[in-house]
Structure formats: C-alpha cells, structure tokens
Amino acid sequence: MPALPWKKIEELAPDTEVTVMASRLPLRHHRSIPRFMMWTLRIRRQLAASPGLVGYSLDAQLAGKRFWTVSAWTGNPELRQFNRTDPHRSATTDIGPLMDPTTFVTWTTSAGELPIEWAEVRRRIADADAGAAGR
C-alpha cells in the first residue's frame, strides 16, 4: 500500500515554526490490521477538524505490519490536545496491547520545509531507537 500523500490542512508562511510528530507503529499480528485501519479512518476524520493541524501523512506497510505517521502542528499544545481527544485517546487504549514497542519523535522546523520526506521520518525514528537502545 503506497503512502497517503501529504494532506495540507493549513497554509502558513514558510518561515513559521511548526512542531512535527512522527511515529512508527508496529503491530504484533496481521489479524490486528483491520482493527487498526478502522481506528485510522476515525482518526483521519478527527484530524480534519483538529485545531492547529498543518498537515499529515500515513505510510502503511501491511506485509511488515508497520505503520508510519507524520504530522505538523502549529505548536505542542495543539498536538497534546489532539492526543487527549477521542477518538485518538480511545484508539491508543484499544490498540496499544496489539502493538510491539512504538516510537514517537517530535521536532520543530519551518513550514517551508513541509512536507517532511519519509526518509527523514525513518532516519529520525531510527536515531531515537538507537538512542533508546544505548541507555
């Protein structure tokens, strides 16, 4: 399944600072994919109405049971509010037990650097995983 193209929600001046959040979400079993996808559809509807969202994308590697997300926000408070609001909050409770260890990274960049390339998302997640393994 190819990555969903970057969905731009809000147009910002190129020099505006944004908060980027990227994740790697590995499922334990293929049989969990339909449930994960059900939540993904609900969360995409939530994203469309989330204050402060600049844009987002999803890459689903179904054969490997891995999902990658990247989103950009006008700030950390908006990202935290999204995370605490349903359906996202309920999804994390429901599918959390179905997952292997997940990785989340955040950083800031300028709106002019959007969309973030998947190679950059994967590099930052690999760096975070390597840092965690070294502790």
Residue-wise pLDDT for 78-117, tens only, equals 999 999 999 999 999 999 999 999 999 999 999 999 999 9
Q: Give the pLDDT score at 3.
A: 86
Write the DSSP symbol of residue 99.
B
Q: What's the half-sphere exposure (Cβ side, CA atoms, 13 Å) at 36?
A: 21
Domain count for the chain: 1
**Residue 19 domain-assigned (yes or no):** yes
Torsions phi, psi for 6 (to 5 deg): -55, 125
Q: Give the pLDDT score at 1.
A: 64
pTM tops 0.85: yes
User: What distances in angstroms separate CA 87 from CA 68, 72, 131, one per listed residue?
Assistant: 18, 19, 31
Tokens of 35: 């449930």
**Residue 2 domain-assigned (yes or no):** no
What's the pLDDT tens digit per position in 114-128?
Answer: 999 999 999 999 999
51 versus 135: the higher-pLDDT residue is 51
What's the pLDDT tens digit per position in 39-80?
Answer: 999 999 999 899 999 999 999 999 999 999 999 999 999 999
**Residue 84 domain-assigned (yes or no):** yes
User: Which structural domain, as residue segments, surrounds residue 82?
Assistant: 7-133
**Residue 74 domain-assigned (yes or no):** yes
pLDDT > 90? residue 133: no
**Residue 36 domain-assigned (yes or no):** yes
**Residue 122 domain-assigned (yes or no):** yes
**Residue 71 domain-assigned (yes or no):** yes
